Structure formats: C-alpha cells, structure tokens
Amino acid sequence: MIALTLAELRDALGGELVGGDPADVVDGSVHTDSRLVEPGAVFFALPGAVMDGHQFAAAAVANGAALVIAERPVPVDVPVIVVSDGYVALAALARLVVERVRAAGGLRVVAVTGSNGKTTTKNLLRAILEAEGPTVAPAGSFNNHVGAPFTMLRVGRDTRYLIVEMGASAIGDIARLIRIVVPDIGIVLKVGLAHAGGFGGIEQTQQAKSEMVRDLPPTAAAVLNTDDPRVEAMSGETSARVVRFGLEARADVRATDVRATAAGTTFLLHADGMTLPVRLRILGEHHVMNALAALASARELGIPLDRAIAAIETVPLAERWRMELLRSAPEVADGGVTIINDAYNASPDSTAAALKTLAQIAGPEQRTVAVLGHMAELGEYATEEHDRLGRLVVRLNIGQLVVVGAEARAIHQAASLEGSWDGESVFVADVDAAYDLLRAQLRPGDVVLVKSSKSAGLRHLGDRLAGAGTAE
C-alpha cells in the first residue's frame, strides 16, 4: 500500500482512530488473514460467515501488524481505526489508493469480466503489460468484493498498469467494483450460464455483466466480444468507445485460420490493415477469444501489436488446473498417457470447449477419454446442461466417458441414451473409484480430459494420474 497517515486513513474510511498519532505513516501490505501478516502491515478484521476476523487481531499484531481496521474496538497495542462496515472501508481504502496513484500520473486500469475466460485473459494481459512497465494483476481469481480491492491496494507510486478481474454472483456486484475504480478499458468476454443458478437466468447474467461498460466515461474503451450477441448488445449501453474483437468480419481485432493442436493454438490476427501470425502455447481454440481481448486492449493502450503478440506467445498455460497438459505417472499406463487437467472451474460453455479440444488434438490412433464431474451453481439448469454435455460427448465421438459423482450422473445417463453405448460410459461414485478405474483401463497413447467444477475435486484426480511429470 502507498504511504498514508493515520489521519488520512481515518478520514477516508469514515472511522474513529483509537491510539496512535494521526501524523504517523503506514505503508505496509494489507491482509485479512493474520497468518499472512508481516511487519508494518494493515490488518482488516472482517466479519465472516464462519470466522470473525476480530478474533485474530491480536495474532495479526503479534506477527507485526502496525494498524488494525475493525468494526469494534479490539485490545491490541497498535492503533485501531473503528469503522461501521469493514467491507465498505476496504473498498474506500482501495478507491483512495488508486485515486492517489492515478493523480500522480501514468496509471492505466484494465478490467475484465465474463462468464468464462477472465483468468486466462488476465494472465495474457499481464504478460503483455509487464513487458511494458510495472504491473499489478490479481493473484489467482481474486475477483470479488474482497479480492478485487486487495489487488488494487497492491499498486505503488510507480505502477503503470493495474489489471482488475471482476466476477459477480449477483446483479450489482460489478457495479460496486466499478465505483471503486473506473477502468480505462472494460472487457466483456462472454455471457453464459456460469453461476446462472445464483443470477436466476441468462438474461440476469447479461444484465450483471453489462455493468462493466454501462458507467464507463467517453474517454474509456469498451472491449466487447462481437461474436456473442448478448455482449454485442452492450455496445448500445455505453458511452465509451466500442472496440470489437472476435471471428466475425465486423471485429476491429479479428482472428482467422484458427488451428488447435496438442502443442498449442495458432491463428492469424487482423487489425489496422495488418495480418500477423500468432502461436499460443495455451491449449484450446476457445482461448483465441481471450487472446483477442488481450491484444485489443493492448492496442488501445498504444502497445504495438507485434510486441503484444511476442508477450502472449511466452505464456505456457492459462493457469494451474486450467487446460494444463500433463504426462501420466509411470504407474499409469507406463507413463504413456497425455492428461489435460482442466478441473478448477466448469460451466456449460467451458466444458463444451474443453471436450471439443480433446477431440481436436488427439491423433487418429489415440483414444480420447473424458473424465467429467459436475458443474456447480447452475440451479434449475443443472440437469438440462449436464444432459446436454453427455450428448455432446457422443457426438464428438469421444472414446470413453467416466462420470464422477452423483451430481454429474445426468451426463452418464444422457450419453448412454444418445449413443446406446456398451461400456463406453461409466459412472463412478467418487474420485478414488475413478482413479482405480482409470489406472486399470488407461493404455499408452490415450488422451484424457479431466474437467469439473472445483468443488468436485477432480483437479486432484488429474494431479494424481500425472504424478509429478509434465508433458513437454
């Protein structure tokens, strides 16, 4: 965090300072986990559904916290700022820090949202922007009302670029984040059924995602996926300059000749009268749209496209457990199996894309195996969307399907009905049963996709099948 006096912090947060000299300066990192606190840090004692951060204020101070921000007085030997709402105070502090750095000149803010692809786009953008200057980007998927402000609080006086990932589980979530930091560039990737159970339907999801661009000023750019009609419709809801990306001819930044292999994904980029080849190391043609969003944003920031392309071509994978290419452990088919571990997150769109990638990259002599767990947060759409995936597996001619867990059983049932298979679809109750089955049945040359929502735990199955080995 940038250096601020206790008086500045008190006033910005609308709190009461207990102890300490108002002129004292605090400039340490900001944490809500007392175990991560380091000397000079600021500790937010946030109330939670299970744990109350106030109980850990003393531990935070013991680890070196120089300031505690809490909703009630706590008995510690450092200054405390007592606020009425810790989450509102966290947002206010993030707003203050970004405003100060912006006012000093040079900081540009890029925000990204979408039902799928946020983290991959963020990582591609980070590769581009870090090559240009000091950049702050989220660690992991810090994209909610707590994680996003924590990312913002990492900016320093010399930070040139800030990337903010904005997720939402309800209408209004993104609007609240936009009020903390108004982006110079707002990216919308896709409107899909991810978290549809929480939103209540895809129309509500569209409404929530449109919050990214609705309040952008005319000086900003709305970078929109023109291939998605629901995202394209947002072009009429913003006063910002609209920049389109996609495969359609009307896109300002467009891809053609997309080809996916086990070595990565290639395409031709068309923009500003230029045609440039791009060779992604990231697996899956669906990541082309994420690359286009990152490149379109770089273009708006004045970064030459050849430099931006060179940067994204160095990114080895989307993220841990996201289309991660691994080689099986020696005890699994003599180490001769290729594993795509994509089980950190799952939605109908991302699972369909992963299955298509599996079908595309396998050679003619290789058997394809899909190991699927449930997709979470689909609400009333869960049975229909799991059923749809089972039928897609058959239509893609996937060689073997293993469905894991009762919540995913509809995938197995649909595949069995669609294909009248005899053993090509197998249902197992849990991860251990899946591992035992796969270890017994996999053979050298197989290509295996492991895909589910994080809560299904299949990412650990992918790691278990792979051991420590990674594919070259």
Does residue 75 sit in the same domain as residue 132? Answer: no
Is 48 contained in some domain? yes
Q: What is the CATH number of the domain that holds 95?
A: 3.40.1190.10
Rounded CA-CA distance 263/204 in Å is: 38
Check whether 118 is labelled as a binding-site residue.
yes
Q: Which burial class, exposed, middle or buried, applies to 367 when counting CB atoms under 10 A from its CB (0-12, 13-18, 19+)? A: middle
Does residue 358 sit in the same domain as residue 434? Answer: yes
Is 58 contained in some domain? yes
What pLDDT score was predicted for residue 267? 97
Q: What is the CATH number of the domain that holds 426?
A: 3.90.190.20
Rounded CA-CA distance 237/215 in Å is: 9
- Distances, alpha carbon 130 to alpha carbons 123, 125, 189, 218, in Å: 10, 8, 22, 27
Is 472 contained in some domain? no
Does residue 246 sit in the same domain as residue 380? Answer: no
Q: What is the CATH number of the domain that holds 50?
A: 3.40.1390.10
Is 354 contained in some domain? yes
- Listed residues 287, 312, 337: the one ending a domain: 312
**Residue pair 222/237 in contact by the 8 Å Cβ criterion:** no
Compute the Cα dihedral for 234, 235, 237, 238 and give only its sign: positive
What pLDDT score was predicted for residue 39? 96
Is 416 contained in some domain? yes
Check whether 120 is labelled as a binding-site residue.
yes
Rounded CA-CA distance 67/437 in Å is: 53
Is 471 contained in some domain? no
What single DSSP character describes residue 247? Answer: S
Does residue 136 sit in the same domain as residue 281? Answer: yes
- Listed residues 84, 111, 133: the one ending a domain: 84
Does residue 141 sit in the same domain as residue 284? Answer: yes
Rounded CA-CA distance 445/269 in Å is: 33
What pLDDT score was predicted for residue 421? 61
Contacting residues for 71 by C-beta, under 8 A, at least 6 apart: 45, 47, 54, 82, 83, 84, 85, 86
- Listed residues 270, 289, 312: the one ending a domain: 312
Does residue 58 sit in the same domain as residue 154? Answer: no
Check whether 192 is labelled as a binding-site residue.
no
Does residue 250 sit in the same domain as residue 147? Answer: yes
Does residue 346 sit in the same domain as residue 450? Answer: yes
Does residue 288 sit in the same domain as residue 386? Answer: no
What pLDDT score was predicted for residue 198? 58
Is 318 contained in some domain? no
Does residue 306 sit in the same domain as residue 162? Answer: yes
What pLDDT score was predicted for residue 419? 67
Does residue 377 sit in the same domain as residue 417? Answer: yes
Does residue 307 sit in the same domain as residue 329? Answer: no
Check whether 115 is labelled as a binding-site residue.
yes
Side chain identity, residue 242: V
The first and second tokens of residue 238, run together, are 């913003």
The first and second tokens of residue 331, run together, are 């005890």
Check whether 123 is labelled as a binding-site residue.
no
Number of domains in the chain: 3
The first and second tokens of residue 286, run together, are 């669906």
Compute the Cα dihedral for 357, 360, 362, 366 and give only its sign: positive
- pLDDT tens for the chain, 472 residues long, are 999 999 999 999 999 999 999 999 999 999 999 999 999 999 999 998 788 999 999 999 999 999 999 999 999 999 999 999 999 999 999 999 999 999 988 899 999 999 888 989 999 999 999 999 999 998 866 778 888 999 999 999 999 999 999 988 788 999 999 999 999 999 999 997 655 555 567 788 889 899 999 989 999 999 999 999 999 999 999 999 999 999 999 999 999 999 988 888 999 999 999 999 999 999 889 999 999 999 999 999 999 999 999 999 999 876 777 888 899 999 999 999 999 999 988 889 899 999 999 999 998 889 999 999 999 888 888 999 999 999 999 999 999 999 999 999 999 999 988 865 667 899 999 999 999 999 999 999 999 999 999 899 899 999 999 985 444 3
What pLDDT score was predicted for residue 49? 76
For the entire predicted model, the pTM comes to 0.86
Q: Which domain holds residue 389?
A: 324-466
Is 360 contained in some domain? yes
